[in-house]
Amino acid sequence: MKSFRDPVHNLIVFQNEDQVVIDLINTKEVQRLRRIRQLGLGNIAYPGAEHSRFVHSLGVAHLMRRFLDALREGHDQQMNDLQRDLQDYRTLALSSALLHDIGHGPFSHALESVTKVRHEQFTVGILRSPTTEVHQVLEGVQTGLSERVASVIERTFDPSRALVKLLSSQLDMDRVDYLLRDALMTGAGYGTFDVEWLLHAMRIGEVDGEPEVGLDLKKGQSIAEDYIMCRYYMYLHVYFHRTTRAAEVMVEKLLQRAREVQAFLPGFDALNALLKGRLQPTDEQSLSLYLQLDDGIIWTAMHLWSQHEDRILRDFSMRLLHRKIFQGIDVESEQQGFDLIQKMEQRAMAEGISPDYYVIDDTAASHAYHDPYITSAGSLSADAFTPVPQGASESIYLFDETGHPHELAESSFIVKAVRNRRVYARRVLFPEEWF
């Protein structure tokens, strides 16, 4: 038995029957996640947000185990064939839950703007590479298990669509853990819900022949409303926070500038490969370099670049190191945005610096935390690197005693009202001292 103390779930325990999880935890690819913050630069605005992708991955595996255990122990007397079939995929489910984030890099979504490769592609590349420890552990358990885990994460595992939805849908173990964890670690009290009741009320049913993760109609509507309100406020106040967004955009610009001026650093082979555009998930040497990247590498590079001869690279490095983050002004109309951008571009030219770096038109809703369920259709221009789930429903269902589905937004006036409000923020970013 292996146990972990956790601020969200109190005690995370994996028994001997789930030895594969313990073995995977001890691989270097999973241990690397200790060195990557879950919220990237979220601690710029919320100092307590120091939690890692490692502890989040543990939490997702823990929730998956609890759900499977509840089904096996008969807590759900209405268990259907879809739920029973999940028991045959226990090892696959727990492995997928633990490993779903191993492809993330430091400041992951800023990094994607440089690599032009989504982190999910690196995840499946790591799983399929015979040189990685996670691949070797999975294959040691069962031949072909690494490929099956990859297909679950790619959402293409057809033998159990229910398992795919448990890890990636509108009501999945990944989202449940990161919402609770991010709310706790940021101190955002409005981002909490009763996870015990959510797990108790969770059901798997069919909608038009497709398995969906939902909730019991009688027991689940209130907790579903809490869950959606949590998501709404976390996006509004944490994920789209103006200071965090500005810092994230500044990291993107920093890496972009480092690439432009070829600011390569001796001994930083992984970072240099990143800047040269040589990191690809299907190349073994490239993948090995990618796995060397963590938050510490980027922060160390900033320290070195803070002495660089290039004015822009030097300035962005120092601003990020010393929390001199760009100001973000909310834009309410196209005309207001145009006027503010024009004004700030004139200021940049007067300062003799490039407006391309110092005047930024940012749409927070195109950020990686894109959430179609609480965003009105057509209100966003989704980021090119935001993954679009294959077969992932944009609905949450409540199932009655007969298994008939009721769409949550149609059953709850609270959720319907939230879905009609945009989680959206357009801002113009520029140096704070210009304001």
Q: Per residue in 159-184, pLDDT tens?
A: 999 999 999 998 999 999 999 999 99
pLDDT of 363 higher than 90: no
pLDDT of 59 higher than 60: yes
Q: Which tops the pLDDT comparison, 368 or 2?
A: 2
pLDDT of 110 higher than 70: yes
pLDDT band at 375 (very low <50, low <70, confident <90, very high): low
Let me know if residue 162 belongs to a domain.
Answer: yes
Backbone dihedral angles phi then psi of residue 61, each to the nearest 5 degrees: -65, -40
3-state secondary structure 297-338: HHHHHHHHHCCCCCHHHHHHHHHHHCCCCCEEEECCCHHHHH
Let me know if residue 379 belongs to a domain.
Answer: no
Bridge partners of residue 360, in order along the sequence: 429
The answer to whether residues 112 and 41 belong to one domain is yes
Q: What pLDDT score was predicted for residue 381? A: 34
pLDDT of 146 higher than 70: yes
How many CB atoms sit inside 10 A of residue 47's CB?
Answer: 11
Q: What pLDDT score was predicted for residue 386? A: 37
Q: Which residues contact 123 (CB under 8 A, 6 or more apart)?
A: 99, 100, 101, 102, 103, 104, 150, 153
227 secondary structure, DSSP code = H
The answer to whether residues 26 and 107 belong to one domain is yes
Q: What pLDDT score was predicted for residue 406? A: 95
Q: What pLDDT score was predicted for residue 115? A: 86
Let me know if residue 381 belongs to a domain.
Answer: no
Q: Which tops the pLDDT comparison, 349 or 388?
A: 349
Question: From CA 174, how far away is CA 253, in angstroms rounded?
Answer: 29
pLDDT of 401 higher than 60: yes
**CA distance to 199, 272, 301, 303, 306, per residue, from 298 (Å):** 38, 11, 5, 9, 12
Among residues 114, 46, 36, 37, the alpha carbon closest in space to that of 294 is found at 36
Token pair in block for residue 286: 């490239």
The answer to whether residues 14 and 66 belong to one domain is yes
pLDDT band at 102 (very low <50, low <70, confident <90, very high): very high
pLDDT of 14 higher than 80: yes
pLDDT of 384 higher than 70: no
Q: Say if CB 128 and CB 146 are below 8 A apart.
A: yes
What are the tens digits of pLDDT across the range 334-344?
999 999 999 99
The answer to whether residues 230 and 171 belong to one domain is yes
Host H or E run for residue 207 = strand 202-207
Question: From CA 93, how far away is CA 162, in angstroms rounded?
Answer: 10
The answer to whether residues 221 and 294 belong to one domain is no
**Quick one: average pLDDT of 300-329?**
97
Q: Say if CB 189 and CB 183 are below 8 A apart.
A: yes
The answer to whether residues 59 and 159 belong to one domain is yes
**Quick one: average pLDDT of 119-139?**
97
Question: From CA 59, how far away is CA 179, in angstroms rounded?
Answer: 11
pLDDT band at 108 (very low <50, low <70, confident <90, very high): confident
Question: From CA 257, how far away is CA 182, in angstroms rounded?
Answer: 31
**Quick one: average pLDDT of 219-232?**
93
Let me know if residue 270 belongs to a domain.
Answer: yes
Give the CATH number for residue 335: 1.20.1250.30
The answer to whether residues 193 and 298 belong to one domain is no
Range with lowest mean pLDDT among 140-154, 184-198, 309-323, 392-406? 392-406
pLDDT of 382 higher than 60: no
Q: Which of 51-60, 110-119, 205-214 shows the highest mean pLDDT?
A: 51-60
What are the tens digits of pLDDT across the range 250-286?
999 999 999 999 999 999 999 999 999 999 999 999 9
pLDDT of 200 higher than 90: yes
pLDDT of 85 higher than 90: no
pLDDT of 52 higher than 70: yes
pLDDT of 376 higher than 90: no
Give the CATH number for residue 212: 1.10.3210.10
pLDDT of 72 higher than 90: no
Let me know if residue 404 belongs to a domain.
Answer: yes
pLDDT of 383 higher than 60: no
pLDDT of 13 higher than 70: yes
Q: What pLDDT score was predicted for residue 342? A: 95
Residue corresponding to tokens 């935001």? 386
Let me know if residue 388 belongs to a domain.
Answer: no
Q: What pLDDT score was predicted for residue 79? A: 55
If one counts the domains in the chain, the total is: 2
Q: Which domain holds residue 249?
A: 242-367+425-434
Residue corresponding to tokens 């019991």? 216
**Alpha carbon distance, N-terminus to C-terminus of the chain:** 57
Q: What pLDDT score was predicted for residue 269? A: 97
pLDDT band at 365 (very low <50, low <70, confident <90, very high): low
Q: Say if CB 66 and CB 86 are below 8 A apart.
A: no
The answer to whether residues 215 and 285 belong to one domain is no
Question: From CA 270, how far away is CA 293, in angstroms rounded?
Answer: 6
**Quick one: average pLDDT of 201-212?**
91
**Quick one: average pLDDT of 379-393?**
39
Let me know if residue 383 belongs to a domain.
Answer: no
The answer to whether residues 220 and 311 belong to one domain is no
The answer to whether residues 275 and 351 belong to one domain is yes
The answer to whether residues 60 and 168 belong to one domain is yes
Q: What pLDDT score was predicted for residue 101? A: 95
The answer to whether residues 168 and 31 belong to one domain is yes
> To the nearest whole number, what is the mean pLDDT of the chain?
90
Let me know if residue 254 belongs to a domain.
Answer: yes
